[in-house]
Structures are given as C-alpha cells and as structure tokens.
Structure 1
C-alpha cells in the first residue's frame, strides 16, 4: 500500500492537463484527445507489473486519481480493490478489470455488456437519464449484494452528479449476462454466433462464469471507474476536478 500511495502522489504532481479535442474519430484514439495525466516512471512500472496490453496506462492513471479522491473522502472500505471498465474497447474483448492494488495483480478480466441504446460493438452514447437504456461513465462505489431477476447481483452507487448519480434509481447493477431463456449473451459463443456481444438495459453485465467471483471480490464499498473520453466529463467530473 505504501508503494501504491507513492504512485498516486507522483501522478498527482506530474499531471499535465491537456484540453480535449471535439469529435475524436475513434474511442481508442480519443485517449490522447482528453487531458493526459502523463503518468511518469512509477505509474509505468505499476502498469508494466499488471502485464495486460488491454489495460491502457492513461485509463489506469485516471482510475488511480479517482480512487485516491474517494479514499481520502472516506467513501471506500475495500481500498485495495479497483475495478475499471474501459468503454473505448470493443465489447467483443474483455474490458472489465479487477485489480488488487496491494498485490499489484489483475484478479479478474471479463467481457462486459453495455446498454442497448449505447451502441452496438462500441459504446459511444452514454447517459445518466432514467429509462435511457444507456450505460453511464465515471466513478461508482459498490454496494450490497442481493438475489434478483438476474440472480446474484451487486448494487452500485454513482458518485458523480449529472454523469451517474441516478444509477441506483435506474437499477444499474452488476449481474451475469443471461437472457430470460437462460442463454449467456455475455460470452464468446454469443459473439461467435452473432458477431458481437449481447447488450443490457444499461447494466454492466458480466460473463456468467466469472460474475459471482467478481461480485464477491468487489462488493462492499470498492471503487469502480467506467472510462470514456467525453470532453464534458473531463471538464466537470466532481471526482477528477480536484486534481
């Protein structure tokens, strides 16, 4: 944890704020179109130790900044757990990462569905609106588990006004990606059959094989960061703005 805090301190001191460009051509290219925190050597070492080519260093840097803010605000109980959902990646690739910051390892990596009104293969329309059937971006704190219509599920609370604070009212929860017929729509088999992952009503639905283990690891006030390079978000984010 001491080494992790040093990383956060270094990122905070060296963050170079670059104004976002409007209308980036592709989600992944847009990573460099918003404020680039210029992580520095220590963060690069942490990123290298995690050893995952799909986990972008810029996304990790923002996630760590927000985690620090939530931690110092007393909002986290599981301070060693950080989950990242990267909406710049194709839904056909695993883009949900669960990181143990003390052990500096990725505990889980899963396919994850986005809302049916957020896009097909890529999520490019994100919203906090009730009944939008779209995914939301920004920082969340995980809540309690429960048994619902999707089985074992996890409530999450959006902590960023205008961007995700309606999450609980919208019933945005983490659950396994199965439809009413019991078919896993968050699976490689579904992608092979239809050419893309299935979609949810706005929830981050996970692979059924991993869902319970992930929920057990992250429930009870850990940090979840859903990333997308929205210029308005990076100008007004209540969590990232203090930096």
Structure 2
C-alpha cells in the first residue's frame, strides 16, 4: 500500500520555510531528492524514514553543501562541508564514476547501512541503489566519515577543501552527530546538475504524483 502523501505546495513550503534556497541548496536538488525519498519509502527500503540527507554538488566545495533535514518535524539538522573524490574535480565536482579505483564520487540515491570503526574513526557504510550509477559503492568502500582535510582552514590555505577517494567526507568535529542521525536505513541523495545522470536515472523517472508530493510520516 503506498505511503500517504500531501500536496506539492507543502513540499515547497518545507523548502521555503527552512530557507534552503538562501543557504545554497538548489530547488532541483531538493525536489529530486524528495522524489527519490518517496520512491524508496513506498518500496519499503527506508528503515530510518525521519530524515533525508542531500549533497548538492552543484555547489563548490567551499560551500556547506550537505543538508540533513528532519522530514517529520520540518527542521534542518545539519548544514556542513562535504568532500568529493580527488578525480571528480578540484573546487567543483564535475566528473563522476561508479568504477573501482576511479577515486571519483558517484551521484544518485543511497541507503545508509551500519556503522563501523575504520581508519577515520566512526564511519557509515552506504548502499548505492542505482544500477550502473552508484551500485558499486559497497565494493568500492564508499562511506561517510570524518576527515581532518574538510574544514575552513583548508579553504583559506588552498581555496578548496581536501578531497577523498570518492567518499562524502565531513568535518571531524561534527561527523559523529551526523552519522548517528543518518545510520540505519536513511536516504542520502548526492546531486549534480549532470545531464547524463538526470537522463539515465530511473529514480527520477517515476509517477508525477509521487514526484510532486511530500510524505506524511
């Protein structure tokens, strides 16, 4: 049975009331993100359905481009810096790959998995949901983790934050709180205004009613 949804104007109200546009999150990133969230939710894929995380790679790495939104209560929980892969670009993320050893970021929808203690401390495994686009994430070891190279000092020194091997790395000082909010089956959407991704993503080719709705949870 489909999850109940409400009118598209309520969805726009969330975007507007949280002033996400003024913080840099593109409306396309938000609308596409909610589209995929609704699809995953209706398919019973989300076990942590109270939040959505959106990474907006249409923004440069000097901007806080990770947005963690509390869907149930209409609150912005976190807005912080996040890295892209070293072969994806320098200041801007422009090239993406699903291939092992590409050291590039992969776009699309992920479902968060379990946490573990790795070389970067507490880390969050990510399961890519889009075949041929990000479904190699587990094999590649693409995870969310903290990193000392994701901070304002790097921006001041070199004009962009440090880059990862493809992981969405976030600042050390906040990584535990973000990971705790997202672990256990939440939706993570990594967006770019990339024509190839938008044209080929099956997650973005769904019923218009679902695309223009916000879940009631």
TM-score by length of 2: 0.90
Is residue 122 of structure 1 aligned with residue 92 of structure 2?
A: yes
For the residue of structure 1 that corresponds to 2:188, the secondary structure is strand
Q: How far is 1:72 from its partner? A: 0.6
Whether the 8 Å contact between 1:49 and 1:105 is mirrored in structure 2 is no
- Write 1 or 2 for the structure with the bigger share of strand: 2
Is residue 51 of structure 1 aligned with residue 19 of structure 2?
A: yes
Instruction: Write out aligned runs for 1:176-191 (5 A).
Output: 176-177=146-147, 184-191=148-155
Is residue 217 of structure 1 aligned with residue 185 of structure 2?
A: no
Larger relative contact order, structure 1 or 2 (CA cutoff 8 Å, min sep 6) = 2
The worse-fitting range, judged by mean Cα deviation, of 161-170 and 189-198 is 189-198
Aligned length: 202
- Uncovered stretches (5+) of structure 1, i.e. residues with no partner: 11-40, 178-183
Aligned to 1:157: 127
Aligned to 1:181: none
Q: Radius of gyration: which is bigger?
A: 1
TM-score by length of 1: 0.80
- Distance in 2 (CA, whole Å) between partners of 1:198 and 1:166 is 23
- Distance in 2 (CA, whole Å) between partners of 1:163 and 1:203 is 15
Is residue 241 of structure 1 aligned with residue 185 of structure 2?
A: no
- Uncovered stretches (5+) of structure 2, i.e. residues with no partner: 208-217
- Distance in 2 (CA, whole Å) between partners of 1:57 and 1:42 is 14
Is residue 134 of structure 1 aligned with residue 98 of structure 2?
A: no
- Distance in 1 (CA, whole Å) between partners of 2:196 and 2:205 is 12
